[in-house]
Copies of this chain bind each other. A is one copy, B any other.
Amino acid sequence: MPAITYRDALNQALEEEMERDSDVFLMGEEVGVYQGAYKVSRGLLEKFGDQRVVDTPIAELGFAGIGVGAAMAGLRPVIEFMTWNFALLAIDQIVNSAAKLHYMSGGQVRVPVVFRGPGGSALQLAAQHSQAFESWYAHIPGLKVVAPATPYDAKGLLKSSIRDDNPIVFIEGEMLYNTKGEVPEEEYTVPLGQADVKRAGDDVTLVCHSKTVAVALKASERLSEELGVSAEVVDLRTIRPLDIDTIANSVAKTNRCVIIEDGWPFCGVGAQVVDDVQRVAFDDLDAPIVRVTGADVPMPYNKHLERAAKPNPDRVIAAVRQVTYQA
C-alpha cells in the first residue's frame, strides 16, 4: 500500500465522493481558488468547477446555514471551516438547526451535511486558534462526531460521513495533515462508531483520539522498554456515538485505564469515558482512571509554555505509573 499524507487522504475522500455522487459539493473559505487554507481541497476546483467547489465570504454562520438548507433540499454539502475555532460563530446552525431538524419535523427533514476542518492546537497559534471542541459537539444529540488519527481512518471515515444521512462534525488534526500512513488504492470506508485498537497490550488501556494517538503510541513503546508495562492503545475514532464496548473489553483485560486528549479537562471527552467505564466496568478497575489532558488554560503563545500545556509521552507514563501504583 502506498503511504500518503493525512491531507491527501482527505483530498482523495472528497474527490472520490464528489465523483461518485453529484449531490456532494464543497463550500467554505478559500476552498477553491486558494486550494484550501490547508490545501485539503487542492485541485478540486479545477476538477469539479466553481458550482461544486464554492469559495465563501467570511460568514461562518451564513454559509453553515446555507449548507444546512442545501442538505434539507437533498444535497450532500461538505462545509469546511478554516478551523473549528471559527465555527463558534456558526454553532447555532449546527446545534439549533442541523442537529434538531430531523427530530422537530417528526422525521420528515434530513440533514446530510458534513462540517469539517482542523481542530485542536497547532504550533504557537495562541488562545483563540488552539482549541479542541470535540466534547461540545459530542454533547449534542442529533450530531455524530468524528476525529480520525491516521490517513487510513481519515479517508475511510470522511467517506462514511459524507454518505451518512445525519449531520456530522468531522474534526481533523491540524498537526496531522503532513503525517503519512498507508492507504489502500482500492475503494474502502471505515464505519462510524467503531473504536480501533491501535496497539494490543495487557497491563493498561490508553484511550485516545486524533493527535493524542501518536502520543499514546510513543508512550506505550517507552512503557514496554522502560517499565516492562504492556499498554493497549484504543483510538476512539468516532467520539459520538462512542464505542464503549471496545473500551470496556480492553479494560476488562487490563483493569487499568488512562485517557488522553488534547482538549481541556472539565467535561472533556475523557470525563464521559470515565463515566461510562466506571459504570460498565466498575469491578474490573484496580485503580482510579487517570486523565492526561491539555492544560486547563487558554493556550499561551510562547512555545515553551505551549509545549508544557500539551499532553506528551512523559505525562502519559506518569499517569500509567499512578494507575499501576508504581509512583
A residues at B contact (CB < 8 Å): 61, 85, 88-89, 91-92, 95-96, 99-100, 103-104, 126-128, 131, 135-136, 138-142, 240, 242, 263-264, 266-272, 274-275, 278-279, 282, 287-291, 296-298, 300
Instruction: Note all chain B residues with C-beta closer than 8 A to A138.
Output: 266-267
Instruction: Note all chain B residues with C-beta closer than 8 A to A282.
Output: 287-288
Contact A297 B103 (CB under 8 A): yes
Contact B128 A135 (CB under 8 A): no
Q: How many copies does the complex hold?
A: 2
Closest Cβ of chain B: how far from A306's Cβ, in Å? 13
Closest Cβ of chain B: how far from A83's Cβ, in Å? 12
Q: Which residue of B lies closest to A127 (CB)?
A: B100
Chain B CB count within 10 A is highest, among A96, A242, A296, A297, for: A96
Instruction: Note all chain B residues with C-beta closer than 8 A to A131.
Output: 95
Contact B279 A272 (CB under 8 A): no
Q: CA of A240 to CA of B296 in the docked complex: distance in angstroms?
A: 12
Contact B278 A141 (CB under 8 A): no
Contact A85 B89 (CB under 8 A): no
Q: Select A96's contact among B85, B103, B104, beta carbons within 8 Å.
A: B85
Contact B266 A139 (CB under 8 A): yes
For the complex of A and B, the 9 pairs showing the least CB-CB separation, nearest first, are A282-B288, A271-B271, A88-B92, A103-B298, A135-B267, A100-B127, A271-B275, A274-B275, A100-B298
Instruction: Note all chain B residues with C-beta closer than 8 A to A127.
Output: 96, 100, 103-104
Q: Which residue of B lies closest to A259 (CB)?
A: B275
Apart from the given pairs A139-B264, A267-B271, A271-B274, 14 other A-B contacts in the complex at a CB distance below 8 Å: A100-B128, A100-B298, A103-B298, A139-B268, A141-B266, A141-B297, A141-B298, A240-B266, A242-B266, A267-B268, A267-B269, A274-B275, A279-B289, A279-B290
Q: CA of A291 to CA of B104 in the docked complex: distance in angstroms?
A: 26
Q: Which residue of B lies closest to A99 (CB)?
A: B298
A-B contact pairs, 8 of them (CB 8 A): A85-B96, A89-B92, A96-B127, A138-B267, A141-B297, A242-B266, A267-B272, A271-B274
Instruction: Note all chain B residues with C-beta closer than 8 A to A298.
Output: 99-100, 103-104, 141-142
Q: CA of A240 to CA of B141 in the docked complex: distance in angstroms?
A: 23
Q: CA of A99 to CA of B296 in the docked complex: distance in angstroms?
A: 12
Contact B297 A289 (CB under 8 A): no
Instruction: Note all chain B residues with C-beta closer than 8 A to A263.
Output: 139
Q: Select A128's contact among B61, B104, B279, beta carbons within 8 Å.
A: B104
Contact B103 A95 (CB under 8 A): no
Q: Which residue of B lies closest to A95 (CB)?
A: B88
Contact A88 B91 (CB under 8 A): yes
Contact B278 A278 (CB under 8 A): yes
